[in-house]
Amino acid sequence: MQCVLLAAGYATRLYPLTENMPKALLKLGDKTILEMVTDKIDEVAEVETVYIVTNEKFYAQFEEWSKAYKGPKTVKVLNDRTTSNDNRLGAIGDLKYVIDRENIDDEILVMASDNIFGFPLTDFTDTYRAKDKDMICAHVIENKDDLHSMGVVELDDDGKVISFEEKPENPKSELGVPPFYLYKRETLPLIDKYLAEGNNPDAPGHFIPWLIGKKDVYAYVFDAVRIDIGTPESYYDACDKLEKGTLFSK
């Protein structure tokens, strides 16, 4: 299994914090957000290489971070050569870039580099192994207003995805989908097909409603805190909770 960490955004909503610093390398206590993510990945024995895909602006900083990484995985930083929001490839475009550039022919764990969470990532991969199907994550969103700004999923009794809608006006469930995905090796060519058809290359969740029309996709439903560091408010709130020891308290 290979892992692709998406880190090629420009985080303009976090300015001025991220004008000269990638969001994933902001500190939470004595660790970067990225370290909190890779600590979880380090526990997944199957993952061989962690590919961090970033952009021209932040490539050198991620390269520097990778030299200090002390975990058990091979880490490789890739520069997608984009320079701004205007010419960015989008998350799915970046995923294709990594797969093509590194000739990946393996199952892949795809994750955002700016979401921290309180469950063991091995629970996700173990469920994926048991189902032997492409898999997403989902959890109940307490603040229902947040459902309008994320992917929302409906599941059957066995956990199979029966509908998925990105940023719905009228959410069909209270299950939100964070950017954690596990794709089987044979699914990788479908990413090419999705993009070749002119579909949205941006948010990684856009691929799922298209994919469920082609094959079965299941969800691992977790009951734990997950924090998307997307605004100064969410960042400072996470810093405050970490200091109080309540970062992942429900």
3-state secondary structure of 161: strand
Chain segment 122-142, per-residue pLDDT in tens: 999 999 999 999 999 999 998
Residue 205 and residue 122 in contact, taking contact as beta carbons nearer than 8 Å: no
Mean of the per-residue pLDDT values of the chain: 95
Handedness of CA 186, 187, 188, 192 (dihedral sign): positive
Residue 211 has pLDDT above 90, yes or no: yes
pLDDT tens, 25-79?
A: 999 999 999 999 999 999 999 999 999 999 999 999 999 999 999 999 999 999 9
Phi first, then psi: give them for residue 74, nearest 5 degrees.
-80, 130
Residue of 201, 151, 199, 153 lying closest to 179 (CA atoms): 151
Q: What is the pLDDT of residue 6?
A: 97
The confidence band for 204, taking pLDDT boundaries of 50, 70 and 90, is: confident
Q: Residue 203's pLDDT is what?
A: 83
Do residues 113 and 7 lie in contact, with contact meaning Cβ atoms separated by under 8 Å?
yes
- Pick the residue with more confidence: 25 or 230? 25
- Provide the 3-class DSSP secondary structure of residue 52: strand
Q: How many CB atoms lie within 10 A of CB 188?
A: 18
DSSP 29: T
pLDDT at position 205 over 90:
no
CA 235: distance to chain centroid?
17
Distance CA 65, CA 4 (A): 16
pLDDT attached to residue 250: 79
Mean pLDDT of 93-105: 97
- Average of per-residue pLDDT across 225-235: 94
Report whether 136 contacts 153 (CB < 8 A).
yes
Hey, what domains does the chain have and what are their CATH numbers? 2-244 (3.90.550.10)
**Mind listing the pLDDT tens digit for each residue in 140-195?**
998 899 999 899 999 999 999 999 998 999 999 999 999 999 999 999 999 999 99
> Of 205, 199, 202, which is closest to residue 176 (Cα–Cα)?
205
Instruction: Give the torsion through C-alpha atoms of 198, 200, 206, 211, to 10 deg.
Output: 10
pLDDT at 244: 95
**pLDDT for res 86:** 86
